[in-house]
Amino acid sequence: MPMFLRKLIASSNKLTWVLIDLLVVIIGVYTAFLIQSYAQDQRVEKEKERIYSALKYELENFRIFLPGRSSYTSGKVSEWTEVYKNDSYIDFSNWIFIEPQYTYQIIEYAMSIEDNEIVDFQLYNKLQKLYVEIKKLEHAEQLIMQTSLKYQSVDDRLSSTQSIERRLDNLDNFKMFIRFSDSRASTLLQVAKWSGEALFILNDRIGPAKRKELERALIKSQIKSLGPKDRAVPAVKQYFPEFSESELEELFEQNAN
């Protein structure tokens, strides 16, 4: 065989092995990338599930329980307003709010996440509006407490001038107390509203099966505080209409004791 043919074949063999080596390296790098990408996706999914589950609990508590507090406060505001119209006041010294009144650490955590695969702009926007209302609510309660502490008792040991001054101060502070309480009542409703808005998005992300699992756990944790079954079941169904009455009765019977 001519010399140049032997060299050509030898060169071809070397090139073939170089290409094979290169292909092995490429396949190895690509496989490692796929494994790493899969592992990252799994971590994101686990973190997403963890955050969504905890976030749902916080949001549901706001959505379910705050309207009742708002209704109670609004009723008291109406009573107090009638008292104030008659140039009188009540003893409003016992309205003290020990912080933290509300649990929203997961909401804060979710808002701080930079990964938009977990909290995208749509969900972040709802959480941001909710967060603003929560801070307004806390501020209203601080003002109520500060005003409540300004209440001054009036008794027979005071001179007539002192009694009049204290009564006038109490009347002025009572007016502010009513105003701040009215603000609290309306803000409680806003917190519940934006919690519902955020839940509308969150529930869609969670999916129906996981959503019902979380709601079942939430109902179990709260059902004892709702009183007898005939009152508890309709109350829960109002907020979780996807559950049948028989499902709720079963949950109540399982957790009533």
Write out pLDDT tens, residues 45-61: 788 889 999 999 999 99
Question: HSE of 46 in the Cβ direction (CA atoms, 13 Å)?
Answer: 6
Residues of the chain with pLDDT under 50: 1, 4-5, 7-9
* b/e code 132-164 from CB counts within 10 Å (16+ = b): ebbebbbebbebbbebbeebeeeeeeeeeeeee
Range of the domain at 18: 1-43
pLDDT, residue 22, reads 64
**Residue at 137 is within a domain:** yes
* 38 lies in the same domain as 157: no
pLDDT digits (tens, 9 = 90+) for 159-194: 989 999 999 999 999 999 999 999 999 999 999 999
pLDDT score recorded for residue 231: 83
Asked, for residue 181, whether it belongs to a domain, the answer is: yes
85 with 158, same domain?
yes
80 and 191 part of one domain: yes
